[in-house]
Amino acid sequence: MNGKPVDNPPDQRTIVMKFGGTSVGTEPAMRQVMHILEQAQTTHPRLVVVVSALSGVTDILLESAFAAARGEPLVVKKAAHELLVRHLALADALVTDPALRRSAWWKVRRWIARFDDLCQAISACGSAEPEALDAVASLGERLSARLLSAALSSVGISSCAVDATRLIVTDSHFQAAVPDLPATTRRARHVLEPLLAQGCLPVATGFIAADAHGATTTLGRGGSDYTAAILGAALSADDVWIWTDVDGIMTADPRLVPEARTIPELTYTEAAELASFGAKVLHPKTVAPLVALGIGLRVCNTFNPSNPGTRLVTGQLSGEENAIRGVAVLHGLRWRPAYAAPLPVEALAVLPSLPPSAPASFPLDRSDWFTPDASSPPLFLPQDAAFEEEVALVTAVGAGVRRAAGRIFAALETRGIAVLAIASTTIGQNPSPASLSLVVRAGEAQAAARLIHFLIG
């Protein structure tokens, strides 16, 4: 891929904006998206939009596919009716031009008919194979992209829906496909650059792609962020903006830590660590295509667009070498103490302030955490192990977490929270410089997270 353009004039800056399911899930939300895009086009004429399915739609599609495999046609029929009514209602409310509205109706009905056909094929086979699941799951984004594009066109914004199957080339690992970035760069530029040159606003489907044979693939649940990053890299964009329903990346999950607050700036490394260890704002793979090209990333709130959100930067933030930036929690893990293999003593040198009473550390390799199913939590035990206890992984993130290890352990010990082990996280053989992961009992995870959060400056 070519490098990112430097100091582009305003009329040549390329911005990729991604809107999640809650941002397009209702009529008021969709109108807010349209307002944001109308404003953005005045300053960023080279604008590409990536859109998720309406909130809840992907779940309905996949549940219907599995119901079809079980021979439950009434479930499929009910889902098809619900999807049809919901999308037609949005078309009626948002697409004011009569010709465009009729076209939108036809497109919605066509894709719902496609859904019915796919479910009938799955029913005939008696099983929902990964390739069929990707074909079904792709329909949500295909519908939402066409609705948003029609709505924009009806208010005078030149727009067209673009299926990412025309833009992103992947392998054939259905449900968690891996992009071929050089092929994607060629394909995306070939399709999108002429549209941008004509002043058209492309609305691309998130989450989906196609393999070299043209079969529909998906990038894993939550993969629309990843789509935006891939297209941003392919177009050498100046910025990628992720629009969601919160004011950026937070210091913790506010459902667990009510005191959580928005982080104004994060390094790419810190953001990747938070995403990998359970923070839900970004798909864990999002930052990878952007870092090498120095493309900016911003996370902001569709429903509070005046809030600056969180800005991701390269390198290390000034004065942050001793900081804890955030805390993340991964639930639903299982633990068998006898399985943990202690690290050699020299490996613990990365934790200079570790107290003498600290438990043994074991390596936690993150190299393949998000394959083949990015929605699953990382498993650091064999799947056939005799599990004994449910635990959680509580991870402090920031350049100063290892220096703060002593304070973290002291705070947990004061509250009587047992740290069962330290997970010395690695990618391959390289320890992470920006995180410290602790294994605690599931029932103590929230209290541990709140205590660590209290140490955030």
Is there a single domain that holds both residue 210 and residue 346? no
Quickly list DSSP for 89-100: HHHHHH--SHHH
What single string gives the DSSP state of each residue in 382-422? Answer: -TTS---EEEEEEEEESTTTTTTHHHHHHHHHHTT--EEEE
Asked if residue 355 and residue 238 are part of one domain, the reply reads: no
Please say which residue of 216, 245, 274 terminates a domain. 245
Residue 388 pLDDT exceeds 80: no
Q: Which of 220, 206, 201 is nearest to 143 (CA)?
A: 206
- Which of 226, 245, 264 lies at the terminal end of a domain, its last residue? 245
Q: Which of 299-303, 326-330, 383-387 has the highest mean pLDDT?
A: 299-303
Q: 440 in the Ramachandran plot: left (φ > 0), alpha (ψ -120 to 50) or beta?
A: beta
- Of the candidates 456, 448, 455, 453, which has an alpha carbon nearest to the alpha carbon of residue 415? 448
Residue 186 lies in a domain: yes
The domain spanning residue 378 has which CATH number?
3.30.70.260
Say if residue 239 is in the same domain as residue 359. no
Residue tagged 């009329």 (tokens): 11
| pLDDT tens sequence across 185-195 | 999 999 999 99
For residues 238-242, average pLDDT: 95
pLDDT number for residue 318: 58
Mean pLDDT of 277-298: 85
Nearby residues of 276 by Cβ (< 8 Å), 6 or more positions away: 284, 366, 369
Looking at residue 186, what is its pLDDT?
98
Residue 221 and residue 73 share a domain: yes
CA distance 157 to 421: 56
Determine if residue 207 is left, alpha or beta; phi over 0 gives left, psi from -120 to 50 gives alpha, anything else beta: left
Give residue 288's pLDDT: 86
pLDDT tier, 343 (very low <50, low <70, confident <90, very high otherwise): very low
The model's confidence at residue 340, banded by pLDDT at 50, 70 and 90, is: very low
What distance in Å separates the CA atoms of residue 21 and residue 9, rounded to the nearest whole number? 32
pLDDT at 317 over 70: no
**pLDDT of 98 higher than 50:** yes
**pLDDT value, residue 393:** 85
Summarised one tens digit per residue, pLDDT across range 49-77 is 999 999 999 999 999 999 999 999 999 99
Task: Say how far apart CA 180 and CA 189 lie, in whole Å.
Answer: 14
Return the CATH number at 139. 3.40.1160.10
Please say which residue of 228, 245, 262 terminates a domain.
245
Same-domain pairing of 356 and 227: no
Q: Examine residue 99 and state whether it is found in any structural domain, yes or no.
A: yes
pLDDT of 81 > 80? The answer is: yes
Residue 219 within any structural domain of the chain? yes
Which residue from 86, 92, 16 is spatially nearest to 51, judged by alpha carbons? 16
Per-residue pLDDT of 257-269, as tens digits, reads 999 999 999 888 8
Angle between helices 98-125 and 57-69 (to 10 degrees): 30
Same domain, 238 and 354: no
Indicate the angle between helix axes 130-137 and 57-69, nearest 10 degrees.
140
Q: For residue range 114-162, what is the model confidence (pLDDT) as tens digits?
A: 999 999 999 999 999 999 999 999 999 999 999 999 999 999 999 999 9
301 in a structural domain: no
Q: Judge whether residue 281 has pLDDT over 80.
A: no
Count of structural domains within the chain: 2
Residue 168 inside a domain? The answer is: yes
Query: Residue 252 — pLDDT band, cuts 50, 70, 90?
Result: very high
Distance between CA 354 and CA 358 in Å, rounded?
Answer: 7
Q: pTM of the predicted model, to two decimals?
A: 0.84
Using the predicted structure, report yes or no on whether residue 370 has a pLDDT greater than 50: no
The answer to whether residue 178 is domain-embedded is yes
Rounded CA-CA distance 167/204 in Å is 9
pLDDT at 291: 86
Mean pLDDT of the residues in the chain: 85
Q: Does 68 share its domain with 176?
A: yes
Do 19 and 134 fall within a single domain?
yes
Cβ neighbours of residue 332 closer than 8 Å, sequence gap 6 or more: 377, 390, 392
Question: With pLDDT > 90 as the criterion, what percentage of the chain qualifies?
Answer: 62
The confidence band for 320, taking pLDDT boundaries of 50, 70 and 90, is: low
Please report which helix (H) or strand (E) contains residue 356, including its range: none
Does residue 288 belong to any structural domain of this protein? no
Helix (H) or strand (E) holding 131: helix 130-137
Same domain, 342 and 448: yes
More confident residue, 36 or 271: 36
Judge if 207 and 346 occupy the same domain. no
Please tell me whether residues 239 and 342 are part of one structural domain. no
Which domain does 432 fall in, by range? 326-454
pLDDT tens figures, 357-367:
555 555 454 44
Structural domain includes residue 3: no
Q: Is 60 exceeded by the pLDDT of residue 101?
A: yes
209 and 335 in a single domain? The answer is no
